[in-house]
Chain A
Amino acid sequence: MAPSVVNDVSKTQLTAEEPEHCPGPESEQAGKDDACDGCANQDICSSQIPKGPDPDMPLITKKLGMIDHKVLVLSGKGGVGKSTFTSMLSWALAADEDLEVGAMDLDICGPSLPRMLGAEGESVHQSNSGWSPVYVADNLGMMSISFMLPDEDSAVIWRGAKKNGLIKQFLKDVNWGEHLDYLVVDTPPGTSDEHLSVSTYMKESGIDGALIVTTPQEVSLLDVRKEIDFCRKADIKILGLVENMSGFVCPNCKGESKIFKPTTGGGEQLCKDLNIPFLGSVPLDPRIGQACDAGVSFFEEYADSPAATAILDVVDALRDQIEISLDKLKISS
């Protein structure tokens, strides 16, 4: 299936490129803003008034209603291990046979999750009930744009508005089955369209929270602070922060090196400063990368490695956080 299907979902079909400062064809200001004067789309946008609430929202909320826990994996910085951690979390949760787990890849321009979960080259099937996810284990399904690309190398050169259309469709049309215990959502770096869209669309059905991934060095923490600021603005609860790639133990001499030096105290200090839970740190291990390239579960291959233990500790701490927040809800209601 070609990704061109997505054209059909953006309700407002524009005849020209949106101008600078476009208020957004779906927004209240569409067709009325200063920027709309002289825009070729002005008639189209203004004819869509009244706007009102997005008619797709109830559908999304209903669809997401059958998912118990929704966790976003976020980081302002790229390459810190968001996808790696999403795959680890998914494998770890799916190791419990009683849980149904879904993993969704919202990194549209650089989807990595299919390879890490060993689902590369698969394709998505469409039926009356929606798009069926690709199952990598009996209780672990996943969805990514890479299943819809004609060729592995083809670039997805999409502006934000088009990406939003696909994200909406992922939330609305993917058929996860009757019930899902966990949906883990992998995101691209930054604080832009994808992040705004997913938080807006999922708001009504409730997001359990976000797992923030960072590496120890200040250059990375700098961007992660921005992501935390975003979560606060968007009212997303932060379940905790995990520091990845912290320290490396030489396989030859067992000497430990801090490759990405935590000159400003690393993730732990950041958590103290911003008062968010620190879930733990995971050391660098070349075998994690190898497991991700091969698309196999790191825990099954190297169950005894210190990195595997560290990751499982983080997963446990994360589940504790999710359950704590649920308990609070029960007491208050």
Chain B
Amino acid sequence: MEQQPPRSLANVKHIVLVLSGKGGVGKSSVTTQTALTLVNKGFDVGVLDIDLTGPSLPRMFGVEKKQVFQSTNGWVPVSVYSNALDPVEKNGKTRRGNLSLMSLGFLLGDRGNSVVWRGPKKTAMIRQFLKDVVWNSGSSSKPLDYLIIDTPPGTSDEHIAIAEELRWASPIDGAIIVTTPQQVATADVRKEINFCQKIELDILGIVENMSGFICPYCAECTNIFSSGGGKALSESLNLDFLGNIPIAPKFVEFIEMQDNEENDGKRKLIDLYEECELSPIMNGVIDKILAKDLPSRI
């Protein structure tokens, strides 16, 4: 049995997983926002999408038509944002980091094609992702600060595979658990937490997404998917609660109007995101994680 961490992780300082037992609660959305927030704080970030049958991240980051290249060292992830052109200090803010993304979405012929794979094939793909992707920050061989791994819902092949691959990669920062407030969602999320405990993966905390919607006309807040489920869950299981993220149609809008191959010449998502009302909330969430001051892997 190999007891070495997967080769691609040799140059990665922190690994964070984004998990949820339930689908459609906003794992990819939280992954996107976590990555953007960390980049804005000056970290170099890589994102790995292991949702093989429903990869959403290429769309979220507006890089659907980009391609992955093979280098002598392995697969080169798609660059989403490069700070090469950034001034060192911009308006007194820290210089942004770099952001790159790897997803199966880049390897499909047509965006409508389905990936109909049974477990063993998915496991093999995830192993290859962890073995063959070259994570570094920009063109230099500087190590990557954060690798964020977005997962599909459930506790099955993909999760077992990633847990096995990461077994020798400790210390791993841990998992951000995403839920929505209603009981139907928290019930599935409890299962995911149970999974984390079984595989001895630390939980960084719980984020409650889609918690409340503020009507743009009358500013009345409606709890479409009820409220308080995430906080109650973290209290009952004695886990950290990282924050409530409200429903923000603007964020969905930003995703669609960012500079992607369709609307050329528009602004980048990272610039748009700074204006989004979710940005300060997410900042608070990330600060809570950074405050834990977890040790670097290298």
Query: Which residues of A line the B interface, CB within 8 A?
Result: 18-22, 24, 76-80, 83, 108-110, 112, 115-116, 152-161, 163, 188-193, 195-196, 215, 217-220, 222-223, 225-230, 233-234, 248, 250-253, 255, 257-261, 263-264, 284, 286, 289-290, 292-293
Distance in angstroms from A276 CB to nearest chain B CB is 13
Contact: B222 with A251, CB < 8 Å?
yes
A159 to B152, CA, bound (A): 14
| Among B9-17, B249-257, B272-280, B287-295, the stretch in contact with A | B249-257
Please report the C-alpha to C-alpha distance between residue A253 and residue B252 in the assembled complex, in whole angstroms: 23
Do residues B215 and A21 form an inter-chain contact, with CB atoms below 8 A?
no
Name which of B72-80, B83-91, B140-148, B185-193 contacts chain A: B185-193
Across the two chains, which residue of chain B brings its CB closest to A112?
A: B184
> Distance (Å) between the CB of A328 and the closest chain B CB?
27
Identity of the chain A residue whose Cβ is nearest the Cβ of B250 in the assembled complex: A261
- In the complex, B284 has a CB within 8 A of chain A: no
Instruction: Look across to chain A and name the residue whose beta carbon is closest to the beta carbon of B159.
Output: A157
User: How far does the alpha carbon of A189 sit from the alpha carbon of B255 in the complex, in Å?
Assistant: 22
Summed over the interface, the residue pairs from A and B with CB atoms below 8 Å come to a total of: 226
How near does chain A come to B246, taking the closest CB pair, in angstroms?
11
Check if B119 sits within 8 Å of A160, measured CB to CB: yes
User: In which size bucket is the chain B interface?
Assistant: 35 or more
B191 touches A250 (CB 8 A): no
In the complex formed, the residue of A with least CB distance to B29 is A219
Q: Which residue of A lies closest to B194 (CB)?
A: A155
Check if B152 sits within 8 Å of A189, measured CB to CB. Answer: yes
Could you tell me the distance between the alpha carbons of A248 and B160 in the complex, rounded to whole angstroms?
A: 38
Q: A155-B192, A160-B157, A222-B59 are in contact. Are A233 and B116 (CB under 8 A)?
A: yes
Q: In whole angstroms, what is the CA distance A110 to B113 when docked?
A: 25
Nearest B residue to A229 via CB reads B114
Known contacts A79-B22, A153-B191, A153-B194; is A193 also within 8 Å of B152 by CB?
no
B interface residues, Cβ below 8 angstroms from A: 21-25, 28, 53-54, 56, 59-60, 111-124, 127, 152-157, 159-160, 180, 182-185, 187-188, 190-195, 198, 213, 215-218, 220, 222-226, 247, 249, 252-253, 255-256
Q: Do residues B153 and A78 form an inter-chain contact, with CB atoms below 8 A? A: yes
By secondary structure, the A interface counts as loop
Asked if B218 and A255 make an inter-chain contact with CB atoms under 8 angstroms apart, the answer reads yes
Q: How far is the CA of A289 from the CA of B185 in the complex (A)?
A: 10
Q: How far is the CB of A233 from chain B (nearest CB, A)?
A: 7
Is B114 in contact with A233, judged by CB distance below 8 angstroms? Answer: yes
Report the bound CA distance from A76 to B21 in whole Å: 16
Quick one: which of B25, B154, B193, B194 contacts A188, CB cutoff 8 A?
B154
26 A-B residue pairings within 8 Å (CB atoms): A24-B120, A80-B23, A83-B184, A109-B191, A115-B183, A155-B21, A157-B198, A159-B157, A160-B157, A192-B118, A219-B28, A222-B56, A226-B115, A233-B114, A233-B116, A251-B222, A252-B218, A253-B215, A257-B213, A257-B217, A260-B252, A284-B224, A289-B182, A292-B182, A292-B184, A293-B182
Give the residues in chain B near A252, CB-CB below 8 Å: 215, 218, 220, 222
- B224 proximity list for chain A (CB < 8 A): 248, 259, 284, 286, 289
- In the complex, what residues of B have CB within 8 A of residue A215's CB? 24
User: B62 CB to closest chain A CB, in angstroms?
Assistant: 11
B122 smallest CB distance to A (angstroms): 7
Say which residue of B156, B184, B213, B223 sits within 8 Å of A116 (CB atoms).
B184
Find out whether the CB atom of B23 lies under 8 angstroms from the CB atom of A257.
no
- Contact status A293-B183, CB under 8 Å: yes
Pair B184/A195 contact, Cβ less than 8 Å: no
Q: Which of B111, B190, B216 contacts A152 (CB 8 A)?
A: B190
Q: Return chain B residues, CB-CB under 8 Å to A161.
A: 118-119
**A192 contacts B21, CB within 8 Å?**
no
A225 with B112: CB separation less than 8 A: yes
Docked Cα-Cα span, A156 to B194, in Å, equals: 9
With A223-B56, A252-B218 as contacts: A160 and B156 at CB distance below 8 Å: yes
Q: Is the CB of A21 within 8 A of B120?
A: yes
Beyond A223-B53, A226-B53, A259-B224, 8 additional contacts (C-beta under 8 Å) are: A77-B24, A83-B184, A112-B22, A193-B119, A248-B224, A255-B217, A258-B249, A263-B256
A219 vs B26: C-alpha distance when bound (angstroms): 11
Please report the C-alpha to C-alpha distance between residue A77 and residue B56 in the assembled complex, in whole angstroms. Answer: 9
Pairwise interchain contact B256-A261, C-beta atoms closer than 8 A: yes
Q: Which chain B residue has the least Cβ–Cβ distance from A257?
A: B216
Q: Is the CB of A156 within 8 A of B155?
A: yes
One of A76, A79, A219 near B59 (C-beta < 8 A)? A219
Q: How far is the CA of A219 from the CA of B254 in the complex (A)?
A: 12
Could you say which of B28, B222, B253 contacts A261, with CB atoms under 8 Å apart? B253
